[in-house]
Structure 1
């Protein structure tokens, strides 16, 4: 019991002593032993109402020398550094664990690789078409482009006809030929070949 008290070095009553010894000593026996130790001045008994608390007597311990205190301080600082190192290492391991937890599973990696391989094959086919000069415009895009061209060509023909009529009237009024009038005014007309639809050839 004395060794147990010295190892704990805290305030205890007989119930605490019995519990700390895991019931190997009953409370009654613990009380008798504590009373005997108090009589021998090995422990100090303090009364708090109806409760008695026993404390190891500090007189039986030698006070550490200044050198011993310095050694203790050095040891404490070393232990503090060791604790901080372990904390930092633990932080790094937690970060690694978090990365592993958030990473893709083997099944997800395989699915991702499969998707990328399919995309790569499509890009390879597209590249080969471009290199060989094969038409790669879809039917939908071709129809859309032709419809847009037909609309703009229709507008161009309407404006070209209006311009020709107006320029002919001005040429008659000035008694000049239409081409001569265009040259005097510095107007360049569209070439005649645009009158034909290039998509019909």
Structure 2
């Protein structure tokens, strides 16, 4: 009983104590000789260590036991770390699988998608049928149209430039603004009529 109480006290305090300090802690509960006997027994078992400071002995809990406990804790920490690493890896794999499954259609979804695509194909086939029997425009006809278009474009640009030059000459002696002149003559710009042209 004394031995256990002394060991518990040293474990709790975790620092060196003289026999007098230990006895003071227990008060009249245990005598000095009983405490000394308990300490001698604990030293013999390697549970506590004694150090001599001059004439005074100090006793503290043996570090051997603490070291063993620390080693055991280190082992547990390593085991838990490995277990955690494995679980993290499993979670990664499961998340990847979930991601892949999210992109995969279920059977009812796939059937619905197939039906939608069939309807789209029918719609486009019907649209193409409208052009069946229609005569395709030949390359020669395309060239003819482009030549005619370019010729008209050149004429348009020349006339627009000529009109601008004439307006500028009139404006030199005209008392009002260009806008007023155009309104008076009745000339409309491309912008006025909403004509947007780009090649």
TM-score, normalised to structure 2, is: 0.31
- Bigger relative contact order (CA 8 A; separation at least 6): 2
TM-score, normalised to structure 1, is: 0.31
